[in-house]
Amino acid sequence: MDTGRGTLVAGWVVLAAGLLTVVASLGALRLNYGMADVRGESMAPAYRLGDDVVYARVDGDEVRRGDVVLFSMPDRYPGGGLVMQRVIGVGGDRIVCCEGEGSARRLTVNGRTSEEPYVKDGDANGSVPQRYDVRVPQGRLFLLGDHRLNARDSRFFADDHGGTVPAEAVRGRVTEDRLGVVLLAGATLFGLLLAIAGLIGVLAGRTRRRRSAEFDTELWPAHF
């Protein structure tokens, strides 16, 4: 095999490997993660207006109490966008509000006082005066915003399954662990560089073969 042909074949192999790597890593990134921007103050102070968040795409039955989830429920929240709230209760839990008075008020989950350090100003129920006692149906979630004074959450939809949200409405769980995203982004960049190197190899191989053909023609001129 001549040098030009070898370079050409190697270039095509490297180019194909690079493109496959890009497609696979981008596919995995899209399949497993998403990004969203915070469009309100209902999850302050942890998440404020304009913040970008990364979420892992998970099923609703994978989330646990304390997780921050993104879900879609256009019948309740018109506009079709994703809504971000925190999981307070899962199927079978009993959520009661509230124990104590004023800023000392606390929710109870299954009879135990729930400490919520993420709640803005330590206010467990905001300006909502009524008490509530909800048994979360199986396959549903009880969700609240962290800024209870400024969140339209499960408390406001008591007539609809106690305000709970179907687990299948969940689109993802907010994550602070960016390692998976970084690794997949790095693999995408590596694949892109590999593809560029392969393309250079293909072009170089074609150039060498063309020059080799021209050289052979000069050495062995055609006879008529």
pLDDT digits (tens, 9 = 90+) for 9-46: 888 898 899 899 999 988 988 889 999 999 899 999 99
% of the chain beyond a pLDDT of 70: 90
Q: Which residues, 6 or more positions from 3, have their beta carbon under 8 angstroms from its beta carbon?
A: 208, 212
Four-residue CA torsion sign, 41, 43, 44, 47: negative
Residue 218's pLDDT is 52
- Contacting residues for 169 by C-beta, under 8 A, at least 6 apart: 60, 71, 72, 73
Contacts of 215 (CB under 8 A, 6+ apart): none
Tens of pLDDT, residue by residue over 98-132, are 887 766 788 999 999 998 999 998 888 877 667 89
Cβ atoms of residues 170 and 71 within 8 Å: yes
Q: What is the pLDDT of residue 219?
A: 52
What is d(CA 200, CA 210) in angstroms, rounded to the nearest whole number? 15
At residue 160, the pLDDT reads 94
Report the mean per-residue pLDDT for the chain.
Answer: 87
Q: Is the pLDDT of residue 224 over 50?
A: no
